Amino acid sequence: MDSSDSTFSSPIPQHVAIIMDGNGRWAKQRGLARMEGHEAGTENIRLILRHAGECGVRYLTLWAFSTENWRRPEAEVAGLMRILGKALVSETEELHRQGAQLRHIGDLTALDPELAASVREAMALTAHNDRIILTIAFNYGGRQELLHAVKGMLRDQVDPETVDEDIFQKYLYMPELPDPDLIVRTSGEYRISNFLLWQGAYSELHFTSKYWPDFTPEDFDAALADYASRERRFGATSAQVQAQ
């Protein structure tokens, strides 16, 4: 059975979204600069992406920079931008070879034009791949995405009477992105921090105390096992779910 066929639960999540948190504490623990934590965190993406693909996950969404992260010291923000630019240059060919489609959610307009252009180029190069859809949430905030949708509808003068969930969805950053079945957050924080507010309405949540650079394929397997043990009810009763 394809994982998308089941209304309720399915052993393998079709879409896993990860809040990659804890780079700074990982570095501090080792007496390193925060930037080295971000470098190590970025390195870890390759490993987890490959593993997610091998597990049969179709969509992997990774949160790399939030709209609130602009509040950090200027040097850290600049460093994070530099790391993203570098990773795009060094990893895009390999992503392409692996059949990964790179997508972006968030606001590209606030980024350095050269960086925004390289994100667009990487998306264009990989647009026809479909082995796994890797969505990078960069300069992403859930509230900002909802505002973006509302503004889009107002701009198009959408008739308020016609607005339903499907129409609203069309105005999100990536309308075709299915809701995440599972949201993982590393580093022991128990909050959503403005991530995927619309799409995460019914996601299962998995929290681990591991810092992101230390998060291994085995930790990913543990998150999948946790997910598989859940009963997704979407408001129905347990008896209804079991009768499915």
Select from 16, 20, 95, 184 the one that contacts ligand IPE (CB under 6 A). 20
Q: Binding to ligand IPE by residue 191, rule CB under 6 A?
A: yes
Binding site for Mg ion (CB under 5 A): 21
* CA separation, residue 164 to residues 150, 158, 171 (Å): 12, 11, 11
Q: Both ends of the chain: CA-CA distance in Å? A: 14
Is residue 2 flagged as an active site residue?
no
Cα atoms in the 13 Å half-sphere on the side-chain side of 10: 18
Which range, of 58-66, 84-92, 119-127, 173-181, touches ligand IPE by CB under 6 A? 58-66
- Annotation says 69 is catalytic: yes
Query: Which residues are within 8 A (CB) of 109 and not within 5 positions of it... i.e. 6 or more apart?
Result: 116
d(CA 223, CA 185): 10
52, 60, 64, 87: residue in contact with ligand IPE (rule CB under 6 A): 64
Binder to ligand IPE among 59, 65, 220, 227 (CB under 6 A)? 65
Q: How far is 173 from 103, CA to CA, in rounded Å?
A: 10
Residue 84 touching ligand IPE (CB under 6 A): no
Which entry of Mg ion, ligand IPE, none binds 66, CB below 5 to 8 A by partner kind? ligand IPE
Active site residues: 21, 69
